[in-house]
Amino acid sequence: MKTIAKTILRTTLIALPTLGFYSCDNDEEMDMPENEVASLFVSSNTSGMITILDFASMDGIGSSTVASAGADADGIYYDEEEDQIIQLVRSDNSLNVYSDIMAAKMDDGLSASLELSGTGGFVSGREIAVMNDMVIVAESPVEANGNQSSLYVYQKNANGFSLQNTYQVDFALWGIHIEGNTLYAIVDKTADLAVFNNFMANTDGMITPDKRVTIEGLGRTHGLTYSMEDDLMVLTDIGEASSDSDGGLVIITDFTSTLSSTSDGGTISMNDQARIEGSNTMLGNPVDVAYSEDSKMIFVAERANGGGKVLVYDYFSSNGNPSPAYNWDVAGASAVYYYED
């Protein structure tokens, strides 16, 4: 069993003024959260900063930043019970835990601690999924890992992260999402979604998804999120990686029954989807997505357009080309996680 060692560092949480460079075209229609806490956590693969957008304030949407453990970061998660951010940093292939996040937001002079940090296992991590104290890392294929995609399962404890299991898959990984004991995984460079039932029951070695389906109309998918409460799957389409204007978002409602009625190797048709795309959307390379079950907002990490943005859309149930309700410049935006209480 490999253990990622514990180190304790300090980093400063910097409060910024309420952002003034967002679009408010749909301001009157947008159902803003009525929560005491409603925050979007954003990783960057260029800036070395974590951005936290606060949607709970009635005075406007606020922003704060905290230094990341590396300039190139990806998957991100907020643990409300521990008041911690968990982040994957590709700069040194590490998992990192930042503590006292909400407390730091309430006090501009308070530091947030980078409590756990270490490397071990993966060499090309992309996304993380968290279930209780278990952290799953999706690794993309690169020369350094023999072009082998893998899923690493770590247990977080007071001393760091202990590697519990390593699973290899025969396709390139990107986004992942765990719901209960079911893991949903993006099949990179395709329009496919892989589903692993009873994921944690697997033993080390090569594993095969219980079902793999194609999403009709998708060019190349990267990000995904699933809402069990709304039985809703949201997927991103980056289109051509070289283009900053051909991205899209897909919503699949009644996802459980839609997936169940689609055979392994089958296709979820465009009739079972709602899709937005086009010049108004500002979608080019949407690499990650989050969803609010309360306000029905959809949050996107857009990597290509303008060097990185966070785009926010109202829920949609039909195809279209809407403008985002809000948008912010966030350099290198690579991953998003939304939390509301």
Q: What per-residue confidence (pLDDT) applies to 7?
A: 37
Distance CA 134, CA 151 (A): 12
Q: What per-residue confidence (pLDDT) applies to 13?
A: 40
Exposed e or buried b per residue across 295-312, where buried means at least 16 C-beta atoms within 10 angstroms of its C-beta: bbbbbbbbbbbeebbbbb
Q: What per-residue confidence (pLDDT) applies to 61?
A: 85
- At residue 17, φ and ψ (nearest 5 deg) are -65, 160
Q: What per-residue confidence (pLDDT) applies to 119?
A: 65
Distance CA 55, CA 18 (A): 11
Other CB atoms within a 10 A radius of the CB of residue 27 amount to 11
> In the Cβ-directed half-sphere of 235, how many Cα atoms lie within 13 Å?
31
Bridge partners, residue 301, by sequence: 288, 310
Total number of domains constituting the chain: 1
Other CB atoms within a 10 A radius of the CB of residue 68 amount to 25
Kindly report the CATH number assigned to the domain that includes residue 320: 2.130.10.10
**Residues of the domain holding 283:** 3-340
Encode pLDDT of 259-313 as tens digits.
999 999 999 999 999 999 999 999 999 999 999 999 999 999 999 999 999 999 9
**Structure-token match 């300090």, residue found:** 10
Q: What per-residue confidence (pLDDT) applies to 60?
A: 75
pTM above 0.75, yes or no: yes
Q: What per-residue confidence (pLDDT) applies to 159?
A: 84
Other CB atoms within a 10 A radius of the CB of residue 209 amount to 21
Q: What per-residue confidence (pLDDT) applies to 23?
A: 41
Q: What per-residue confidence (pLDDT) applies to 18?
A: 34
Residue ranges for the chain with pLDDT beneath 70 = 1-36, 57-59, 106-113, 117-119
